[in-house]
Chain A
Amino acid sequence: MNLFLKGGEVASENTAPVRADVWIENGRIKAVGADLAEPEGARVVDVSGKIVMPGMFDAHVHFREPGGEQKETILDGSEAAINGGITGVVMMPNTSPSIDSATVVKRVLDAAKECRIPVLTSGCITVGREGHEMAGIDGMKKAGVLMLTDDGDAVPDAALLKRAMEYGSEFGMFFASHCEEPQLAGPRALNEGAVSYRLGIEGTPALAEEISMSRDLALAHATGATLHIQHVSTAIGMEQIKWWRDERGAKVSGEVSPHHLMFTDEDIGDYDTHYKMNPPLRTAEDNIALLEGLKNGAFRIIATDHAPHTEFEKSRAFEDAPNGISGLDTALVSLFDRFIDKGEFGWDLIVKRYSAEPRRMMELEAAEVAEGKSVDLIVFDPNGETTFTKEFMKSKSSNTPFLNKTLKGSVDMVMLRDEVLLER
């Protein structure tokens, strides 16, 4: 492949986009610079007015294989990622069976070999995510697991989590917590508040997340474990992470999901299950606080918590419908439409929080559009638009409020190593 991206703006994690041409040859970036001469024999693509930046990396996705292939397979999920400008993902282990042993890890990573982007997986902290026995940490580590999580649930037994942190940290593993105190969380359908009262469904109070998070952060601090807090939905939760990190030096970080920045429980309206996920959508005040946190560095990464479910499952009554929102196809475009285009933050934040930092968290090199680097880049058209029809989305499921909506921005190209994965 010999390709010349002409006239674009190159985005990086540290600066605003810079006008530069990009010359790609044989899977490497040969040159980056303003007004480069068009190389002989290269295919020239006019990307003027468009953003050229590293591929995104999503460290929190639910591909339903094994056990839930009707919702999503590893292959379909990886194609949804590419469709959204994402060139690497980390699977969560709440499949069926759970990814809690070297055997299942190998089975999953074997299936992932078909994919056109790297698909990594996390592993469970406890066997079957049941919170009783420690999962086979050494075997999973050898099979390639770095992140341990019982995502979907908190580990209910604090003593067990403490011992797992003491044990697993010695293998160089880090922990990721879904924070939710189960008794307080109740049936887990929506936020507790005026909306849950109006709809007549028992809500999950913000308190359920705050208490559980407080416990896990203290455990990480006490054991010296590295802990990443997943999909923070509450302002107080976010404040706690910052406090332990900045005031106590704990090795803790947090992630925020696009939907927790964009939607509130009011959006549920008349039982719209596209707005049903766990942790639930909270209030407008939480939206504002989380967005502020993303801007001021409270969160290390953005991650979708991509959670596909079939149309039939989501057509059930609100309480019976499963929790989850599909995210990979829509994340980048929606973040552009809602925030970048409105001047809330710049491309540097997206590159840092949705590309560089999640890769570093997974001990990978951050992708960069810079001379000599391996090709891992996307072209985004801020003047384009995207309509998220079922046909457009590559995920097997289409459980998103953006279904059939048109948003500003479009992922025009995705390139990885020596291959153009997507071009439109």
Chain B
Amino acid sequence: MARKDFLDIVSLDREEIIQLLDQAEPFKDLFTRSVKKVPALKGKAVLMLFYEPSTRTLSSFEVAAKRLSADVTTFDVPSSSVTKGESVRDTIDTLQAMRADYIVVRHGLSGQPAAIARQTGASVINAGDGAHAHPTQALLDAFTLREKFPEMEGKRVLITGDILHSRVARSTSTILRKLGVKVAFLGPGSLVPKTASPDIPRFTNYDQAISEFGPDAVYLLRIQKERMAAPFFPSDREYHNLYGITDERLRQLAGEGTYIMHPGPINRGVELCDAVLDYDRCLISQQVENGIAARMSVLYGLKPQTS
């Protein structure tokens, strides 16, 4: 049964996730051909509605939709009626009249895409809402990890950084655990809430996390300054020293063959040093490439209730 919307990972079961991952593979194979498009969504209208600034996710969705031959419109939120005080609900009513089949939404408020999905027959895809969910990121992360570990069951991923404010931490930890991957959180005590999940080990010390948890991949999160109204740790420098991948820590990880992942954008000198980007097991650019295939899979798999 095809879903109308793609709002979070929590509501997906393991079979649906595996189907989405399997479905993404032929799309990825397409990228190496001379013609990178398929006609799957020909004649369908995809609307990009980004209330928060985004470069990589927005362009990834645009490329994904275009490779499925959809007509893509990007709604220019900052210069639109939204800044004149129009409510989201009224904006959606207006956009409904333009007959979009798919609406890709990013919003600063948790739950806003779900509210939009209830209002419209178009398929709503959550491209990140507040600190709640970023399900296509989770899907591309799982896809990327599966390329390295076809048998994911029992593999270990240490998610590091601002767990409290991160929608990526929530969605990616959820998808990985549904696929049998063991997840642990590492970060400053003020950014790794004790209430997060009783089933996810919580570390506040890097060395202890590495030695006790023994990760197959370290997943670095960006410190989200824009979501922090008040200080959660003393300085970027202290964060880097305590939790960042320094040259020395990189040598250790290389010795163990540990992969490094990051959803981007990166902050050099905070969560990672420059050398990480030249590390042969750094998967950041694969994540970006796989993001297009994963998003094509999501768009392809949804069923809008528009006539």
* Dominant SS among interface residues on chain B: loop
**List of A residues within 8 angstroms of B129 by Cβ:** 200
On chain A, the residues within 8 Å of B196 by CB distance are 194, 197
B106 within 8 A of A: no
- A114 located at the interface, meaning its Cβ lies under 8 Å from any Cβ of chain B in the complex: no
The answer to whether residues A271 and B115 also contact, given A200-B110, A319-B130 and a CB cut-off of 8 A, is yes
Task: Verify B111–A199 contact, CB threshold 8 A.
Answer: yes
Main SS at interface, chain A? loop
Which interface residue of B10, B88, B109, B164 has the most chain A CB atoms within 10 A? B109
Q: Per-residue CB proximity of A315-355 to B under 8 Å, as 1/0?
A: 11111100000000000000000000000000000000000
Instruction: State whether B89 touches A201 (Cβ < 8 A).
Output: no
A321 CB → nearest B CB, Å: 9
Question: Within B155-193, which residues are at the interface with A (CB < 8 Å)?
Answer: 164, 167, 170, 193
Residue of B87, B107, B111 with most chain A CB atoms under a 10 A cut-off: B111
The yes or no answer to B67 lying at the interface (CB within 8 A) is no
Interface residues of A in 276-317 (CB under 8 A from B): 312, 315-317
Q: Is A9 an interface residue (CB 8 A)?
A: no
Q: How many chain-A residues does the 8 Å CB contact rule pick out? A: 19
Contact, CB under 8 Å: B195 / A317: no
Cα of A200 to Cα of B193 in the assembled complex, Å: 12
Given contacts A201-B130, A312-B89, contact A319 B193 (CB under 8 A): no
Give the residue of B87, B110, B164, B197 whose beta carbon is less than 8 angstroms from that of A199.
B110
A318 to B116, CA, bound (A): 12
Contact of B195 among A197, A271, A316 (CB under 8 A): A197
Residues from chain B with a CB closer than 8 A to the CB of A312 are 87, 89
B18 proximal to A (CB < 8 A) = no
How many whole Å from A206's CB to the nearest CB in chain B? 12
Query: Is B193 within 8 A of A197, CB to CB?
Result: yes
Q: Does A270 contact B (CB under 8 A)?
A: yes
The answer to whether A201 touches B115, judged by C-beta atoms less than 8 angstroms apart, is: no
A151 contacts chain B at the CB level, 8 A cutoff: no
Chain B residues lying within 8 Å of A197, measured Cβ to Cβ, are 164, 170, 193, 195-197
**Residues of A200-254 contacting chain B, CB below 8 A:** 200-202
- When distances are taken between beta carbons in the complex, the residues of chain A under 8 Å from B193 are 197
CA distance A320 to B109 in the complex (A): 8
Once the chains bind, are A317 and B132 in contact (CB under 8 Å)?
no
The distance in angstroms between the C-alpha atoms of A197 and B199, with both chains bound, is: 14
On whether A319 and B110 interact (CB within 8 A), knowing A200-B132, A201-B132, A271-B115, the answer reads: yes
Interface residue B112 (Cβ < 8 Å from any Cβ of A): yes
Write the nearest CB–CB distance from B183 to chain A, whole angstroms: 14
A316 CA / B10 CA spacing, docked (Å) = 22
- Which residues of A sit under 8 angstroms from B133, Cβ to Cβ? 200
Contact across chains for A316 and B131 when beta carbons are under 8 A apart = no
Q: Does A192 contact B (CB under 8 A)?
A: yes
- From B10, B109, B197, contact of A318 by CB (8 A): B109
Q: How far is the CB of B49 from chain A (nearest CB, A)?
A: 13
Known contacts A317-B115, A318-B111; A200 and B130 CB within 8 A of each other: yes
Cα distance, A319 to B110, chains bound together (Å) = 7
Q: Counting CB contacts under 8 A, is A193 at the interface?
A: yes
Select one of A194, A201, A317, A318 contacting B131, CB under 8 A. Answer: A201
Q: Are B89 and A315 in contact (CB under 8 A)?
A: yes
Tell whether, in the assembled complex, residue A316 and residue B115 are in contact, meaning their CB atoms are under 8 Å apart: yes
Which residue in chain B gives the minimum CB-CB distance to A268? B111
Is B195 a contact partner of A200 (Cβ separation < 8 A)? Answer: no
Q: Which of A200, A316, A317, A318 contacts B170 (CB 8 A)?
A: A200
What residues make up the interface of B, taking CB atoms closer than 8 Å to A?
A: 10, 87-89, 107, 109-112, 114-115, 129-133, 164, 167, 170, 193, 195-197
4 closest A-B pairs (Cβ-Cβ)?
A200-B132, A200-B131, A271-B111, A200-B110
- Contact sample, A vs B, 25 pairs, CB 8 Å cutoff: A192-B195, A194-B195, A196-B195, A197-B164, A197-B193, A197-B195, A197-B196, A198-B170, A199-B132, A200-B110, A200-B130, A200-B133, A201-B110, A201-B111, A270-B114, A312-B87, A315-B115, A316-B89, A316-B115, A317-B107, A317-B109, A317-B111, A317-B115, A318-B110, A319-B109
Given contacts A312-B87, A319-B130, 5 further A-B contacts (CB under 8 A): A197-B195, A199-B132, A201-B132, A317-B88, A319-B111
